[in-house]
Amino acid sequence: MCGIVGYVGERNAYDILIKGLHRLEYRGYDSAGVALVSPSGTLNVYKAAGKVSNLENYCKDKDTTGGIGIAHTRWATHGEPSDRNAHPHFSEDEEIALVHNGTIENYKVLKDALIQNGCKFQSETDTEVLVQLIEYIRTHNDCTLLEAVKEALRQVVGAYAIAVIEKNRPDTIIAARKSSPLVIGIGDGEMFLASDATPIVEYTKDVVYVKDNEIAVVSKTRPLKLVNLNNEETSVDVKTLELSISQLEKGGYPHFMLKEIFEQPTTLLDCIRGRVVNEGKDIIVSGVLDSKEKFMNAKRIIIVACGTSWHASLIGKYLIQDMCRIPVEVEYASEFRYSNPVLDDRDVVIAVSQSGETADTLAAIQMAHDAGAYVYGISNVVGSSIPRNTDSGTYIHVGPEIGVASTKAFTGQVMVLTLIAMAIAELKGTMPKEDLIKIGEEILKVPDYVRQTLELNEQIERLSLIFTYAHNFLYLGRGYSYPVALEGALKLKEISYIHAEGYPAAEMKHGPIALIDAEMPTVIIAPNDHLYEKIVNNVQQVKARHGSVIAIVTEGDKEIRNIADHVIEVPDVPECLTPIITSIPLQLLSYYIAINKGKNVDMPRNLAKSVTVE
Ligand code: M6R
């Protein structure tokens, strides 16, 4: 939620900042703004509601010179999306500008105190409190910006990644983080900072991930300095970025979402590379091997996640229970953290998150740690907060996912959960080796199965035309296909704004069946698995009420093809691998329906890719 970017050096900061904002726009696009110190010493702040392109238009006739600046793209929390509430925020004397990603929880108390001391506010945001507080401390204590930031952060409760510049020091940015991501790029006579590495990658591969409670002094003339809130210097740990610019571009596709859907044969290959070896006979998940004792002795596994990652986690539950005979619970991180959960050191908590930055998931793992549980992370973004705050874990390695609707990360998460379940099953001896080998051999073919499934693209595009103007959709599935139904419904609603509900197919008769009529399309996920005959009944029940059925079935299906209105046939795979295959037609269906409706699929309204606030 919200993206921040900063630059100090000899180049024109504005160009770098605007390009960086475009890269970070997936984090929020309610408004954008930039603050620059011009060569003549003016601190110029420009902001505009809406997308970064609005800001660019606004800045066309403005002075955008200067070698230092900070910028922001916003996902609104406090105060409506407007020019006034856009960042950067100025101090009252217009000497300091600040951008912020996160939430200041005690902003009200701080604001009231500042108002009592005569301070006047321009916006409704929590962020403005921070810049006014810094300025108040700086002027009343006659101290440096660094000291004022440090003191202000001691008074703040909440999450933040901030960048601050002052008019009279056009060579230094002060930045800090707590619970919101911040990366610093180190160039030659220049430095960059951003919420993630995407704005930095084309200038330098040397980066430093700022840790919680660290403050960075980012200067063009001096080496990077990090201090904590107690003013002690902390070590600067420079890492090399493994990210390429081509991964951040659309590569000829009209949208990132479509590109990411079509990347899945490759991303799944990357995900299994080095993990499914010896022609499928062996599964090596190094994180599981590192945590061998914990998984072998776990009395229970709790998986915490949000959104699409929660759906992947539900599939993980079925996989781990089936293969390893360990009880598994799946919790929404946002509920888990406030549910006073009963946890101890024989519990293993697995956190699943594409971004590795979801605030609720981070809070849940902190809580699990505090209760003595072993915490394992599954994420995509290397160096993000979840891998850095877990005892062990596995990356899904699907490359940057930029479309707000998660696609390739979902299939990567399901694949990694499958491998983890298989690795634990092997350790515990809960599955015959020959069964594990059969699945291992099939996993090696998954990239090809996915490629084959993507050939349905045109059929699904045509089908989408029939359903573009439906007002409601029902998605049904059983067993492994139930979470796929939930995920299909989420994909549709988040990008096309059509109401859709995912349901366990057999639960339909306990309520949702009342919704079914000729106007209500039902998507039924019915691969050839052990519940196939049961779901045939569910298809019949929908048809008996004149509902229209789109069925995802295994190729060669005999029964459902005669009852359903539309049939999408996918390759035949072992039951535990069906979610990876059946979810792909649903991704395409939601994509095309949203496109038919003229929606912005990569940046749907009200959403942001990375939810770093509660
Ligand atoms: O980065 P995370 O996996 O933790 O994100 C969780 C959800 O915010 C995310 O999956 C969200 O639901 C997506 N928009 C779904 O497409």
DSSP string, 9-34: SSS-HHHHHHHHHHHHGGG--SEEEE
Describe the strand order of the beta sheet including 548-554 as a list of residue ranges.
499-504, 472-477, 521-526, 548-554, 566-570
Answer yes or no: is pLDDT of 193 > 80.
yes
Closest-CA residue, ligand 1 atom 11, reads 307
Q: Determine the pLDDT at residue 81.
A: 85
CB 211 within 8 A of CB 200: no
What Cα–Cα distance (Å) separates residue 128 from each residue in 76, 120, 144, 248?
13, 10, 19, 32
SS3 for 358-419 is CHHHHHHHHHHHHCCCEEEEEECCCCCHHHHCCCEEEECCCCCCCCCCCCHHHHHHHHHHHH
Look at residues 382, 329, 386, 387 and name the one whose alpha carbon lies nearest to residue 361.
386
Q: What residues form DSSP beta bridges with 526? A: 553
When pLDDT is cut at 50, 70 and 90, the band that residue 77 belongs to is confident
As a whole number, mean pLDDT of residues 128-139 equals: 95
Q: Determine the pLDDT at residue 568.
A: 98
Give CA–CA dist 102/385, Å, rounded. 14
DSSP characters over 478-518: -TTHHHHHHHHHHHHHHHH--EEEEEEGGGGGGTGGGG-ST
Catalytic residue among 51, 259, 317, 609: 609
User: What ligand 1 atom has the least distance to the C-alpha of 611?
Assistant: 8
By percentage, how much of the chain surpasses pLDDT 70?
A: 100
Answer yes or no: is pLDDT of 176 > 90.
yes
3-state secondary structure of 554: strand
As a whole number, mean pLDDT of residues 204-218 equals: 96
The least confident of 293-307, 385-399, 538-552, 599-613 is 599-613
306 within ligand 1 shell (Cβ under 6 A): yes
When pLDDT is cut at 50, 70 and 90, the band that residue 252 belongs to is confident
465 membership: H or E segment, kind and range: helix 457-467
CB 68 within 8 A of CB 170: yes
C-alpha 602 to ligand 1 mean position (Å): 13
- Is residue 119 part of the annotated active site? The answer reads no
When pLDDT is cut at 50, 70 and 90, the band that residue 248 belongs to is confident
Answer yes or no: is pLDDT of 80 > 90.
no
Residue from 611, 613, 614 whose mutation best tests the ligand 1 pocket (most atoms within 8 A of CB): 611
Residue from 330, 362, 404, 406 whose mutation best tests the ligand 1 pocket (most atoms within 8 A of CB): 406
Give CA–CA dist 328/317, Å, rounded. 6
3-state secondary structure of 218: strand
CB 576 within 8 A of CB 480: yes
575 within ligand 1 shell (Cβ under 6 A): no
User: What ligand 1 atom has the least distance to the C-alpha of 610?
Assistant: 1
313 within ligand 1 shell (Cβ under 6 A): no
How far does CA 517 lie from the centroid of its chain? Answer: 36
Catalytic residue among 2, 59, 324, 576: 2
Answer yes or no: is pLDDT of 179 > 90.
no
CB 3 within 8 A of CB 25: yes
Reported as half-sphere exposure (CB side, CA atoms, 13 A), residue 99 has a value of 36
361 within ligand 1 shell (Cβ under 6 A): yes
User: What ligand 1 atom has the least distance to the C-alpha of 607?
Assistant: 14
As a whole number, mean pLDDT of residues 252-268 equals: 95
Give CA–CA dist 282/243, Å, rounded. 29
Q: Determine the pLDDT at residue 383.
A: 83
CB 199 within 8 A of CB 248: no
User: What ligand 1 atom has the least distance to the C-alpha of 355?
Assistant: 1
Give CA–CA dist 467/548, Å, rounded. 10
Q: What is the dihedral of CA 169, 172, 177, 181, to 10 degrees?
A: 130
Q: b vs e for 271-282, b when ≥16 Cβ sit within 10 Å of the residue's Cβ?
A: bbeebbeeebeb
Give CA–CA dist 604/591, Å, rounded. 12
Q: What is the dihedral of CA 205, 209, 214, 220, to 10 degrees?
A: 10
Answer yes or no: is pLDDT of 236 > 90.
yes
- Is residue 609 part of the annotated active site? The answer reads yes
Give CA–CA dist 430/426, Å, rounded. 7
348 membership: H or E segment, kind and range: strand 347-353
3-state secondary structure of 160: strand
384 within ligand 1 shell (Cβ under 6 A): no
Closest-CA residue, ligand 1 atom 8, reads 307
309 within ligand 1 shell (Cβ under 6 A): yes
Look at residues 470, 551, 482 and name the one whose alpha carbon lies nearest to residue 515.
470
C-alpha 490 to ligand 1 mean position (Å): 10
C-alpha 609 to ligand 1 mean position (Å): 7
Q: What is the mean pLDDT of the chain?
A: 95
Closest-CA residue, ligand 1 atom 9, reads 307
CB 552 within 8 A of CB 526: yes
125 within ligand 1 shell (Cβ under 6 A): no
- Cβ neighbours of 372 (radius 10 Å): 11
Instruction: List phi, psi (to 5°) of 305.
Output: -170, 175
Q: Determine the pLDDT at residue 138.
A: 95
What Cα–Cα distance (Å) separates residue 316 from each residue in 446, 467, 476, 592?
17, 31, 19, 28
As a whole number, mean pLDDT of residues 14-42 equals: 94
355 within ligand 1 shell (Cβ under 6 A): yes
Q: What DSSP character marks residue 179?
A: B
Answer yes or no: is pLDDT of 26 > 90.
no
The sign one gets for the Cα dihedral 140, 141, 145, 148 is: negative
Q: How far apart are the first and last CA of the chain?
A: 10
Q: Determine the pLDDT at residue 79.
A: 85
When pLDDT is cut at 50, 70 and 90, the band that residue 19 belongs to is very high
Q: Determine the pLDDT at residue 547.
A: 93
3-state secondary structure of 176: strand
pLDDT of 429-458, one tens digit each? Answer: 999 999 999 999 999 999 999 999 999 999
When pLDDT is cut at 50, 70 and 90, the band that residue 613 belongs to is confident
User: What ligand 1 atom has the least distance to the C-alpha of 405?
Assistant: 16
The least confident of 44-53, 214-223, 505-514, 570-579 is 505-514
Give CA–CA dist 452/436, Å, rounded. 24
When pLDDT is cut at 50, 70 and 90, the band that residue 28 belongs to is confident
405 within ligand 1 shell (Cβ under 6 A): yes
Q: What residues form DSSP beta bridges with 375? A: 349
Residue from 358, 389, 401, 410 whose mutation best tests the ligand 1 pocket (most atoms within 8 A of CB): 358
Q: Determine the pLDDT at residue 47.
A: 96
Give CA–CA dist 416/528, Å, rounded. 23
CB 313 within 8 A of CB 303: yes
3-state secondary structure of 224: coil
402 within ligand 1 shell (Cβ under 6 A): no
As a whole number, mean pLDDT of residues 347-352 equals: 98
